[in-house]
Amino acid sequence: MSKIQFDKISSVTKNLELKAEEKLTDKLSCEMGTVLAVQVLDDKNVYNELELPTGRMSKIKKGDVIAVALGNRMALQGFVGNLPKTLKVDDVIHLLNFGGVAGVCVSANLKEVGEPMRVRVLGGVERKGKLLNINQACKFKPLTSLKKCAPLIITTGTSMDSGKTTVAVEITKTLTRMGMKLAGAKLTGVGAHRDTYKMSDYGVYEAVSFTDCGVASTANIDGQTMVGVAKGALDHLSKSNPDAIMIEFGDGLMGKYGVDAILCDPEIQKHVRFHIGCARDPIGAVGLAQECQRIGLPIDMMSGPVTDNQVGKDILKERLNILTYNAFKPDNQWLDLIIARWATEYKNAA
């Protein structure tokens, strides 16, 4: 049994609290969440940083030894990658995201992110004779039904990078400054902590993600499993009685990350009190609104780049007769709706 000295530890392994020196094993698994020691084989000029457990972004250089976890990625803009079918020491796989999720890349937006960074497998990380997996250090477990659930504010979008995080944290900032006690959850995506750290920066007292349920990536996971993870997160956060839980979904409604399965669940739907949609353009906004209406979760307010100037706002008003909100030029028209709905919530709870 050998030991390895890490140069960098990725944030997806955060809950395991890996040390700079850990034991290695050559008995590997292709299971999602398996923790590996790998050596970086390339220097890159783009997409060349790793998020550390602290949230700090650190440059990755050729020769660095880093701790990663296996997972899938199905990014519309970025890397597409799968779990390896077989795995042994010295195999070459790829770093799929800045949070430290690794797999076999099969497609990429080369102009934006370049070729995937190759990493050589040095071994699996072992403790007490057992190969580590991020599912061995969970904050909560999946649930088949909600025992308790606070009111939900949800942010959905047409795709990744449609403005979801930006609007979610601006709304969070406003509500917490008004005195509301908010928790936060990121329920879908690929393992990283940037968005939950942002939620904390803007006022939520606790934020969790699917990684806290031992899931490295929600890509290609079946709907029933995803709903269970979501309910586990909501139940966990609701135990401390927040006024609301701010929910963000990585990727869009039609992506491969389980967003639609969670949104279609009737038990989750009945706790949604405010729904924010995000889109880049008018046709995307209209399509998102129509699809959300179809599944039983109509959008209350539209945000994202489509609202960056008056043209988009006017089109949305004409086509959807819906509130609009731009995080870079915020207004407070939406607050009347929030106040009315939470007044009813508090009255019913009294």
Residue 146: inside a domain: no
Query: Is residue 116 domain-shared with residue 169, that is, in the same domain?
Result: no
Whether the per-residue pLDDT at 114 is higher than 60: the answer is yes
Query: Is residue 270 domain-shared with residue 244, that is, in the same domain?
Result: yes
Query: Is residue 198 domain-shared with residue 334, that is, in the same domain?
Result: yes
Residue that is last in its domain, among 100, 134, 168: 134
Residue percentage of the chain with pLDDT more than 90: 87
Residue 144: inside a domain: no
State residue 287's pLDDT score. 95
Residue 141: inside a domain: no
Confidence of residue 349 (pLDDT cuts 50, 70, 90): low
Query: Is residue 225 domain-shared with residue 123, that is, in the same domain?
Result: no
Query: Is residue 227 domain-shared with residue 277, that is, in the same domain?
Result: yes
Query: Is residue 130 domain-shared with residue 173, that is, in the same domain?
Result: no
Residue 305: inside a domain: yes
Query: Is residue 185 domain-shared with residue 292, that is, in the same domain?
Result: yes
pTM assigned to the model = 0.93
Half-sphere exposure of 143 (CA within 13 A, CB side): 17
Residue 145: inside a domain: no
Residue that is last in its domain, among 103, 134, 165: 134
- Is residue 150 within 8 A of residue 244, CB to CB? The reply is yes
7 contact partners, CB below 8 Å, separation of at least 6: 64, 65, 66
Query: Is residue 75 domain-shared with residue 168, that is, in the same domain?
Result: no
Query: Is residue 187 domain-shared with residue 126, that is, in the same domain?
Result: no
Query: Is residue 322 domain-shared with residue 249, that is, in the same domain?
Result: yes
Domain total for the chain? 2
Tell me the average pLDDT of the chain: 94
Query: Is residue 128 domain-shared with residue 191, that is, in the same domain?
Result: no
The domain containing residue 7 runs over which residues? 3-134
Residue 139: inside a domain: no
State residue 336's pLDDT score. 85
Whether the per-residue pLDDT at 229 is higher than 60: the answer is yes
Segment 159-186 mean pLDDT? 92
Q: What is the CATH number of the domain that holds 174?
A: 3.40.50.300
State residue 346's pLDDT score. 65
Q: Which tops the pLDDT comparison, 284 or 1?
A: 284
Segment 73-77 mean pLDDT? 91
Residue 274: inside a domain: yes
Tens-digit pLDDT profile for residues 27-49: 999 999 999 999 999 999 999 99
